Amino acid sequence: MVDRVVPDVIVSRLPVYLRALQFMQMQAVTTTSSQDLGSKVNISAAQIRKDLSQFGEFGKQGTGYNVEALIAHLEKILQVEKVWDVAVIGMGDMGHALTRYGGFLNRGFRITDCFDNDPAKIGSQAGQYIIKDVADIGKGDCLRGKMVMLCVPAAAAQKIANKLVECGVKAILNYAPVHLSVPADVRVQYIDPVIGLQRMAYYLHEKNE
Amino acid sequence: MVDRVVPDVIVSRLPVYLRALQFMQMQAVTTTSSQDLGSKVNISAAQIRKDLSQFGEFGKQGTGYNVEALIAHLEKILQVEKVWDVAVIGMGDMGHALTRYGGFLNRGFRITDCFDNDPAKIGSQAGQYIIKDVADIGKGDCLRGKMVMLCVPAAAAQKIANKLVECGVKAILNYAPVHLSVPADVRVQYIDPVIGLQRMAYYLHEKNE
DNA sequence: ATAATATTGTGGAAATAATCACAAACTCGC
DNA sequence: GCGAGTTTGTGATTATTTCCACAATATTAT
Ligand SMILES: NC(=O)c1ccc[n+]([C@@H]2O[C@H](COP(=O)([O-])OP(=O)(O)OC[C@H]3O[C@@H](n4cnc5c(N)ncnc54)[C@H](O)[C@@H]3O)[C@@H](O)[C@H]2O)c1
Ligand SMILES: NC(=O)c1ccc[n+]([C@@H]2O[C@H](COP(=O)([O-])OP(=O)(O)OC[C@H]3O[C@@H](n4cnc5c(N)ncnc54)[C@H](O)[C@@H]3O)[C@@H](O)[C@H]2O)c1
C-alpha cells in the first residue's frame, strides 16, 4: 500500500459501509461478504472490495469479512475510534434537536458546546448544556474541538463561518441553506432537506395528489 | 436536444444551482454567468454550462444568464414550480422541527400530514397540524401526495417504508440512520449528520482539542 | 465602425470511476 | 484429503464525468 491519496468518492462511501456494519452487529451478525454488504447499501460487491482494498486487506477468501474487525478498521480509517468534540451554533429548533439526539456518541462524536446570539437564550439551560454567547467564540477555550454543526439562519451563516475559520475550525456541518465559502483546508458538508426533496421531485411523474 | 436520459449526477447538482440563484435574487442580482455562479457553489464554469446544456440554451453569449429566467427554467426542470404535498412520519424532535420550518413553501413543498404511533401524540396538535395515527396510512385519503419525510427511529424505518411503498409513495427523505430497501421506482435520499461528520473526520489532522 | 472584452455552448481529450473476470485461497461435506 | 462451492483482491477493460479550448455571438469603449 503506497501512500497514494484516496479519492473523495471512496472516502464518502466508507461511513455508509460502517453504518451498515454496525447495524449488522446490533443484530448479532458476525460475518459478512462484499456481496451481502453490497446488497444492504445498494452498491456493487466489486465496488466495495475495490474501496476497501485502498486501505488494506481485511477479508478472507471463501469466508468474507468479520463484522467486528471490519468495523474496527473502518473506524480507524475514518478516525472515529476516538470521540470528537463538536459545537452547535444556533440553538433554535434544529440546534435543540441535535443536542437531544443520542446517536452521536457511539459513532465518534459528542456535543460539547452550544452557542446562540439571542440574549434571551444566552446563559439558559438546554438539557445538559448552558448556551453560550456566540460573540465569545475565540475568547479563551470557549470553543473546544475543530468541528461545528451550524444551525443559524442562512443570512448569518457565512459571517459565522468566517469567524469559525479564524478560530481554527476545520469541519462545518452546515444546516443553513446557503453555500459557504471557506479555505481549501476547511471541509463543509451540507444538510438541506429541500435539496433532497428537489432531487427526488425531478423523477416524479403525474400530478401531486 | 434528443430525449436522452440525464445522468443522476447532473440532476443532483441542479438544486444547488437553484438555491444559489434564489439567494442572488434575494439580493436583487439580475444577471449572472457560469463563472460567477460557479464561484458561488464551488463548481467549475464549464461544468455548469455542460449541465445546463442538457436541458436547453438558457444563456446569452457575452452577457451570461438572466437570474429570474434561469430560476424559472430550473424550477420547471425539477418540477418545483408547483408545490408538492409532503407527509412527515414520526413526530419527535426532528418531525417537530420540520413542521415548524418555514423554508419549504417557496422551494416547492409543503407539509400536509403528520403521523406517529404514540397514543399520547395521536390526535394532539402540533402547530397547525393534528397528528394522525400511522396505522391509518393507506386507509382513505389519509396520506396525500407521493413524498414523505421519515423521522422515526431506525428500528421502525424499513417496516414503515414498506408500507409507504405499498401506498404509492415514490420519494422518501429518510432521517433514520439506516439504508432502506425499496423498489427501483421509489427514490430515497438520506439525511444523517453523523455520515457528514465522519466524512469530514477522515480529513482532520492532529488531536481532538 | 471597429477593436477589445466577455461569455456561451459544445466537440473532443483527459481524468476519474465503475465493472468485469479470474487466479488464489479459504470452507465444508463426505 | 478431495472436489465442489465461496469469496477475496486486483489487473484490465469499459463507462462516465470532468475539463479544455475555441468558434460564435454579444456588449462596451472609443
Ligand atoms: N428546522 C428545520 O427543520 C430546518 C430544516 C431545514 C433547514 N433548516 C435550517 O437550519 C437552520 C436553523 O433552523 P432552525 O429551524 O433551528 O431555525 P431557528 O430560527 O429556530 O433557530 C435559529 C437560531 O439561531 C440563532 N441565531 C440567529 N442568528 C445568530 C447568530 N448570528 N449567531 C448565533 N446564533 C444566531 C437564533 O437566535 C435561533 O436560536 C436555518 O438555517 C434553517 O434554514 C432548518
Ligand atoms: N434529533 C436529531 O437531531 C436527529 C439527528 C440525526 C438523526 N436523527 C434520526 O431521526 C429520527 C427521528 O429522530 P428524533 O430525534 O425526532 O427521534 P424521537 O425519538 O424524538 O422521535 C421519534 C418519533 O417517532 C415515533 N415513532 C416511533 N416508532 C414509530 C412508528 N413505528 N410509527 C410512527 N411513529 C413512530 C415516536 O413516537 C416519536 O414521536 C431517528 O431515526 C433519529 O435517529 C435525529
Q: How many CA atoms lie within 13 A of B14 on its CB side?
A: 31
Q: Give A102's contacts (C-beta < 8 A, 6+ positions apart).
A: none
Q: Which three cell numbers stand for residue B78?
A: 425539477
Q: How many CA atoms lie within 13 A of B13 on its CB side?
A: 17
Average pLDDT over residues A65-70: 97
Which domains occur in chain A, in start order? 8-78 (1.10.10.10), 84-194 (3.40.50.720)
Convert the pLDDT of each residue in B160-186 to its tens digit. 999 999 999 999 999 999 999 999 999
Give per-residue burial for A164-185: e unless 16+ CB within 10 Å, then b. bbeeebbbbbbbbbbbbebeee
More confident residue, A145 or A87: A87
In this complex, do A147 and B203 lie within 8 Å of one another by their Cβ atoms? no
* Distances from the Cα of B81 to the Cα of B13, B20, B27, angstroms: 17, 16, 21
B46 touches strand C (CB under 7 A): yes
Task: Give the pLDDT score at A138.
Answer: 82
Question: Is B176 touching ligand 2 by the criterion CB < 6 Å?
Answer: yes
Which nucleotides of strand C are protein-proximal, with an atom < 7 A from a CB?
5-12, 16-21, 24-27
Residue of A23, A93, A171 with shortest CB distance to B204: A171
Q: In chain B, what percentage of residues exceed pLDDT 90?
A: 91
Q: In chain A, what percentage of residues exceed pLDDT 90?
A: 91
Average pLDDT over residues A73-83: 97
In this complex, do B199 and A84 lie within 8 Å of one another by their Cβ atoms? no
State yes or no: pLDDT of B2 exceeds 50. no
Task: Give the pLDDT score at B11.
Answer: 98
Residue of A79, A173, A203 with shortest CB distance to B202: A79
Q: Which of residues 28-47 of A touch strand D (CB under 7 A)?
A: 33-35, 45-46
Average pLDDT over residues B194-203: 98
Q: Which three cell numbers stand for residue A150?
A: 451550524
Mean model confidence pLDDT for chain B: 94
Task: Give the pLDDT score at A3.
Answer: 47
Q: Which three cell numbers stand for residue B67?
A: 437570474
User: How large is the C-alpha radius of gyration of chain A?
Assistant: 20
The span from the CA of B86 to the CA of B164, in Å, is: 12
Q: Are B124 and B130 in contact (CB under 8 A)?
A: yes
Convert the pLDDT of each residue in B105-143 to its tens digit. 999 999 999 999 999 999 999 999 999 999 999 887 777
Average pLDDT over residues A124-145: 88
Residue of A15, A178, A198 with shortest CB distance to B199: A15
Cβ neighbours of A154 in B, within 8 Å: 23
Tell me the three state secondary structure of residue A29.
Answer: coil
**Residues whose beta carbon lies within 6 Å of some atom of ligand 1:** A 89-95, 115-118, 121, 134, 151-154, 156, 160, 175-177, 193; B 97-98, 101, 103
A50 touches strand C (CB under 7 A): yes
